[in-house]
Amino acid sequence: MADFDADLFVIGGGSGGVRAARIAAGHGARVVIAEEYRYGGTCVIRGCVPKKLFVYASHVHQEIRDAKGFGWSIPEASFDWPTLIAAKDKEIARLEGIYAGNVAKSGAVVHRARAVFEDPHTVRLSTGEKLRAKHILIATGGAPNHGKEIPGIEHVISSNEVFDLKELPKRIVIQGGGYIALEFACIFANLGSDVTVIYRGDNILRGFDEEVRAHVRTEMEREGINILTGCTVAKVEKLGDEYVTHLSNGSSVASDKVMFAIGRHPAVANLGLEKAGVAMNPDNGGIAVDDYCRTSVPHIYAIGDVTHRINLTPVAIREGHAVADNLFGGKDVRVDYSNIPTAVFSQPEVGAVGLTEQQARALCPAVDIYRTDFRPIKATISGSQVRTLMKLV
């Protein structure tokens, strides 16, 4: 082992990379981890956590609106965007410190630097230091993808920049029909923005049950969100202090901000993968891995969004744990990807697990469907027209 500076070198300090480092160190391995930005990764720094804080803030509008039916008289309320941003920043900084601190406490050597491959066993840090590792784990996550280049793309923001806007936009156009687009559409609408959603498909939430898709769209439109399907953004034009978004159907929408949430791509640029001999998956653009998260190079592994398989934080965490157990814990673990629950923090929220009705009917000769659609008890007094859908396949 004298030829190696570490038993495991982890590139990326997000949820998956940190879990792998901590578990491997707990098994007695010599672990080094490097993160070029902030520990915590997409979920903690610019994803799930700050997004959920924004969701909570937006819920207050609904609570105030519903309060009168329960006997509360609340004076006219006002919302201050900079206060929310400052509170979010403070909490994210606290969580980042916990992530970096916990991995250091586990015994891993922690670097705040970019790491790239020099060869299959060697990584070079942006500090100039070079390290050789017996095993290397790639956990660099993903990044927003704006899709094809269009005129005015430089005016578009992503889910990265949205958390640091200086002021709440009075009007915002959001292109996309998945988790991120719909969650931010509901956040901004409930904070007082005029929201238009643009989606190329025939309905939002592709991949979810058809009834769930229809239900969420109905409820979002009931809240005043304008959803335009069957079209895309063709051009974004800046006119003075506003933007004009030109659509493929010939119409246009004026707004103060334009946000794209049309997907994410694996963060593999300039990692030196070609020097290491790591192959990509031509079907999804992520790093190709087997059932044990091994790449085409047997001692190099990849987990989480960088593989572009199932881009969920708990999946990355489970994969990182499994890799560490297999390498240093004497175990033989394969991650089970069946029946992974997922949630969309739109308003209404969506929770789903298992097959959709359409998938079940394609697989099974007989399918029983149990469903109910009702006004929740809170709405009967508040006066809200919101409805709940529950469905069992």
Q: What is the pLDDT of residue 91?
A: 96
User: In the chain, what are the helix, strand and coil shares in percent, each to the nearest 5?
Assistant: 35, 25, 40
Q: What is the pLDDT of residue 147?
A: 83
Please determine whether the domains at 6-144+265-328 and 146-262 fall in the same fold group of CATH: yes
State the Cα–Cα distance between residues 312 and 320, nearest whole angstrom: 13
Q: Is the pLDDT assigned to residue 1 strictly greater than 50?
A: no
Question: Which distant-in-sequence residues (6+ apart) come within 8 Å of 318 by Cβ?
Answer: 335
Q: Name 10's bridge partners.
A: 33, 137
Q: What are the extents of the domains in the chain? A: 6-144+265-328, 146-262, 355-393
**CATH level 2 (architecture), domain 6-144+265-328:** 3-Layer(bba) Sandwich (3.50)
The answer to whether 27 touches 329, Cβ cutoff 8 Å, is yes
Could you read off the pLDDT of 124-170 as tens digits, one per residue?
999 999 999 999 999 999 999 888 889 999 999 999 999 999 999 99
DSSP reduced 3-state for 24? helix
User: What is the distance between the terminal CA atoms of the chain, rounded to a whole angstrom?
Assistant: 54
Q: Is the pLDDT assigned to residue 72 strictly greater than 90?
A: yes
Q: Is the pLDDT assigned to residue 216 strictly greater than 50?
A: yes
Quote the mean pLDDT of the chain: 95
Question: Which distant-in-sequence residues (6+ apart) come within 8 Å of 282 by Cβ?
Answer: none
Could you read off the pLDDT of 339-363 as tens digits, one per residue?
999 999 999 999 999 999 999 999 9
Could you read off the pLDDT of 173-194 as tens digits, one per residue?
999 999 999 999 999 999 999 9
Q: Is the link from the previous residue into 348 a cis peptide, with omega within 30 of 0?
A: yes
Could you read off the pLDDT of 106-121 as tens digits, one per residue?
999 999 999 999 999 9
From start to end of 109-209, where are the E strands? 109-111, 115-119, 122-125, 130-138, 142-144, 171-175, 194-199
Q: CATH homologous superfamily for 146-262?
A: FAD/NAD(P)-binding domain (3.50.50.60)
Q: What is the pLDDT of residue 384?
A: 87
pLDDT confidence tier of residue 206, bands split at 50, 70 and 90: very high
pLDDT confidence tier of residue 2, bands split at 50, 70 and 90: low
